[in-house]
Amino acid sequence: MDGVLFPILIFAVMATVGVGLIFVLGSQENVIATRLEALGGGEVSGLSSSGKENSDDPDSGKKAGSFFSGLLQRIGDSARQYFEGGGGDETEHRLAMAGFNPQTHLTTFHGIRMMIGLGLATVGSLFMLITGAPVGKMVLAAGVGVLGGLLVPTFWLGLQIKKRREKISAALPNMVDLLVVCVEAGLGLDAAMSRVGAELDLSAPELSKELNQLGRELSAGQTHEHALSRLAWRIGIDDVDNLVSMLIQAERFGTSIAVSLRVFSDSFRTARRQRIEEAAAKTTVKLLFPLIFFIFPAIFVILLGPAAINIMVKGMF
């Protein structure tokens, strides 16, 4: 039985990973199909406007990927009824802060959570079945697998958000300085944002992507207040919230953007320097706990160990 257990578990794990990868790749194809459908008036993926399949389509042999993508979309749509009140703003906000498009990745994210949970539950149930465990343990293993599958993507998303925030925070001072230079040189706010986004394309691609998105929204006709608010919502950093609030207030009350940005840049760097000094001052207190629990015991063993051994040996003889 042990010889059969290992291949079955390997097959189950590989099948789960393979299906998940197929779903992720299929979701990207679905995004492209949706955009083409919006541009082409509904004719996409070999379907004419009458809804019949076009037999002359050279991509008609690629229907398998769309099947898995459609299956993932259906699973994700069903799962959204149970997660975050039907795919609420919190999940959409977290996806946006991680750098994903909530409109196209929300259903995919919930579908992947369900597929991973079902895969882990299947692996756990098979393991308990093959080892001859009772039914109660099989149900427990399936429940733990489902719970783990639902939590693992959430933890991964949290790590992605943290990494992206750190990268954007590191590039934010340079962005503010470049924005001040561009505005003082005579560029408008829209042109300055686009120019700064192009300049940061190599050094800070995450922030450049957000600024380019802001430029596209402004070019599409959205107001500065709405586009800037969306920028702060997607990034989710307090410094960006303060910058957006300052720009909105300056435009609303007719204040000079260049002067407001100059004042904000000075206060922003002062606040960052104070936060760094505060973090450096906390280092001494934070080092106290590992010093007491890890370093001092080792020092005591090295210093008092030989003397304690000599005392014990002399006492025995």
Q: Are residues 16 and 54 in the same domain?
A: yes
Say how far apart CA 138 and CA 125 lie, in whole Å: 5
Per the structure block, which two tokens stand in for 180? Answer: 């001040």
Q: Are residues 72 and 212 in the same domain?
A: no
* pLDDT tens, position by position, 20-44: 544 444 444 445 555 545 554 444 3
pTM exceeds 0.85, yes or no: no
* pLDDT tens, position by position, 121-180: 888 888 888 888 787 888 888 888 888 888 888 899 999 999 999 899 888 888 988 999
Say how far apart CA 236 and CA 93 lie, in whole Å: 9
Q: Are residues 65 and 183 in the same domain?
A: no
* pLDDT tens, position by position, 73-130: 666 666 666 665 544 568 888 888 988 887 777 777 877 888 888 888 888 888 888 8
Range of the domain at 208: 167-271
Report the interhelical angle of 257-290 vs 135-184 (nearest 10°): 140
Q: Are residues 58 and 144 in the same domain?
A: yes
End of a domain among 143, 163, 183? 163
Helix (H, G, I), strand (E, B) or coil at 236: coil
* pLDDT tens, position by position, 260-307: 888 888 888 888 888 888 888 888 888 888 888 888 888 888 888 888
Say how far apart CA 100 and CA 110 lie, in whole Å: 14
* pLDDT tens, position by position, 67-87: 556 666 666 666 666 665 544
Say how far apart CA 218 and CA 222 lie, in whole Å: 5
Query: What pLDDT shows up at residue 42?
Result: 44
Q: Are residues 237 and 194 in the same domain?
A: yes
Query: What pLDDT shows up at residue 114?
Result: 80
Contacts of 67 (CB under 8 A, 6+ apart): none
Residue among 31, 117, 39 nearest 79 (CA): 117
Q: Are residues 173 and 159 in the same domain?
A: no
Q: Are residues 174 and 147 in the same domain?
A: no
Q: Are residues 159 and 172 in the same domain?
A: no
Query: What pLDDT shows up at residue 83?
Result: 60
Say how far apart CA 116 and CA 21 lie, in whole Å: 11
Say how far apart CA 244 and CA 189 lie, in whole Å: 12
Q: Are residues 117 and 230 in the same domain?
A: no
End of a domain among 271, 286, 305? 271
